[in-house]
Amino acid sequence: MTLVRKDWLKLTEESVIDPDLSICDPHHHLWYQSDNDYTLEDLRQDIAGGHRVVQTVFVESCKMLRKDGPPEFQPVGETEFIQDAVSRQTGDTVVAAGIVGFVDLVSTASAAAPVLEAHIEAGKGRFRGIRYTAAWDASPQIKSSSRPGILADPRFREGFACLGRYGLSFDAWLYHPQLMELVDLAKTFPDTVIIVDHIGGPLGDGPYAGKRDEVFREWQKGIAALADCGNVFMKLGGLGMGINGFGWYEKEQPPGSIALAEAFAPYFLWCIEKFGVNRCMFESNFPVDKRSYSYTILWNAFKRIAKDFSSEEKRALFHDTAAKAYRLPVL
C-alpha cells in the first residue's frame, strides 16, 4: 500500500461544511504493531479537522493478534487490544463504539461459536460482528485475498450460520463481479444483517482500467439485486483505493471536495436510489483512503452529495443508519 503523504495532503485544504451535522463513521481501522501504524491519536487528529464525529465503528485489520493459543482464537487479540485502547479515551468522539472483528468461518465452520463468544467477552459490550474478506478476481493484476466461490462454500456457510445465534452482523468486502454471490448469501440468511463495504468494490485497475462505463453498468445490476434483500446495508465510501482506478494519489495535488463529489455521486446516488437512506451510510475507510484525500475533505464531499436531501435524510446517511445497523446509541 502506498504510504500516506501528510505534506501532500496539506496542499489542498478546506473549511468544514455544515460542522454541526452529527456523524457516525462506521468504517475505520486502527493499526498497531505494524510498519505503518495508525493509532487512536492519529484518528483523533484527522477527526479534529472540524466535522462533528460523535461515534465510530472499528473494523478488523488482522493486526494485534494473540501471540499464542489456538490459531482460530488469535484474532480475538485484536478485539482485546482495541477495547483496552479505547476504554480510557476522553473527548467528544466515542471511538470504536462498535467493534467488528474477524473469524475464519471456513476453518472453524460450526466451531465458530466459541470464537464469537470470546470476541463478545473481549469487546465488553462493543463487539458487533465480523468482517470476512471475500475479495477475489481471476486477473493476477488484481489483489485477491480469498479464493473463488468462498461465499457459497458449505463450511463458510456453516460458520456464517453461527452469527445469527448471537445477533451479530456480517461485513462483506468483495469486488463488483462477486455481488451476485453475495445476493445468494443474503437470501439464504435473511435474518442476518449484512453490511457491504466500499459500495461493493467497483474495480478500475488491471484489466478493468479504461472500462469505467462498462464496469459501472455491471456494478449497477449487482447493487440493484442486493437492494432487494432487506437485510443488506450499504457503506458509501472506499473509492480512494488503487483498485478503483481513480489514481488521485498519483496527482501533484490532492483533490478537493468538489472533484470528489463529482466522481462519487453516480455511485452513491445509485445506491441511495436503490437502498434508500435508511440502508445507506457514509464511511471514511481511513487510513486506507487517506492515501488519496484528507478526512476533512472527504466528509465535505459527502456533504456536497447530500446537499439537496432533507435534514432527516442527512441524519440517516451520516449517523442514524450506521447506528441502526451496528446497534449503537442514536446520539
The values of phi and psi at residue 297, to 5°, are: -70, -35
Query: Which of 251, 241, 252 shows the shortest CA–CA distance to 298?
Result: 241
Largest CA distance in the chain: 53
pLDDT in tens, 286-321: 999 999 999 999 999 999 999 999 999 999 999 999
Distance in Å from the first CA to the final CA of the chain: 35
The values of phi and psi at residue 77, to 5°, are: -60, -35
**264 has a pLDDT exceeding 90:** yes
Secondary-structure percent of the chain, ordered helix, strand, coil, rounded to 5: 45, 15, 40
Residue 2: pLDDT band (50, 70, 90) is: low
pLDDT in tens, 149-187: 999 999 999 999 999 999 999 999 999 999 999 999 999
**140 has a pLDDT exceeding 80:** yes
Instruction: Check: pTM over 0.85? Answer yes or no.
Output: yes
At residue 168, the pLDDT reads 98
* Three-class secondary structure of residue 50 per DSSP: coil
Query: Which of 323, 282, 287 shows the shortest CA–CA distance to 300?
Result: 282
Using CA atoms, how far apart are residues 305 and 259, in angstroms rounded to an integer? 11
Using CA atoms, how far apart are residues 8 and 112, in angstroms rounded to an integer? 44
Residue 69: pLDDT band (50, 70, 90) is: confident
- If you average pLDDT over every residue of the chain, what do you get? 95
Cα→Cα distances 134→51, 93, 149, 282, Å: 32, 31, 9, 21
Preceding omega of 190 cis (within 30 degrees of 0): no
pLDDT in tens, 223-243: 999 999 999 999 999 999 999
Tell me, what amino acid is at 22? S
Of residues 24 and 63, the one with the higher pLDDT is 24
115-129 burial string, b = 16+ CB within 10 Å, else e? Answer: bbebbbebbeebbbb
Q: Going by DSSP bridges, is the β-strand pair 94-101/127-133 parallel, antiparallel, or unpaired?
A: parallel
The values of phi and psi at residue 278, to 5°, are: -80, 0
**1 has a pLDDT exceeding 70:** no
Q: Apex CA 290: angle with CA 288 and CA 291, to 5°?
A: 85
Percentage of the chain beyond pLDDT 70 is 99
At residue 89, the pLDDT reads 83
CB–CB of 80/126 below 8 Å?
no
List domains and CATH numbers for the chain.
19-325 (3.20.20.140)
Average pLDDT for 58-64:
92
> What DSSP designation does 224 have?
H
